Amino acid sequence: MNEKTAQLNNKFILSLLIIFFCFLLDRVSKIYVIKFYLNNQFKDYYVNKFLNFSLVWNKGIAFGIFQSESIIYHFITFIILSIIIFVCYLIVKSKSFFEIICLSMIAGGAIGNLFDRIYYKSVPDFIDLHYGNFHWFTFNVSDICITIGIVLLLIFDTIKFKNRDKNG
């Protein structure tokens, strides 16, 4: 096996492990929360003054935008699948391990939410951050993976862009 093939295999394995880890962490958390709510019949579970767990079924996209049960739901699901395929293409084309990690987190989180859209016909969100009367949008572990991946990717690109400007 030559060096290029070994690097490709390492990229592929790293990417699959991160995608699987994000997906698994998301599935376990959602299954636990759904069973908890079914068994205990809670509406909200108070953790502290900044955090509640509150199971909400999201039929839209990020932050509950475009809530729908019609053909729009299927169209959005198709768009999400297309984005996941595009992110996987970017993973294959990437030469940076850090970029692969970030893109794999995004893909793993997106696959977790796509799974729910297909299996439940809705995405279970349950993490409710708040301060006083202000509540952030309810989200889940997949959303955390996607957000961390995007933020790290933006930071990485900003640093890479600044370094390129310094070096002319």
Active-site annotation, residues: 125, 143
> CA-to-CA distance for 10 and 144, rounded, in angstroms?
25
Written as one letter, the residue type at 150 is I
Structural Rg of the chain based on CA atoms:
18
Strand-pairing partners, residue 46, are 52
Beta strand ranges found along the chain (DSSP E) = 45-48, 51-58, 123-131, 134-135
Written as one letter, the residue type at 44 is D
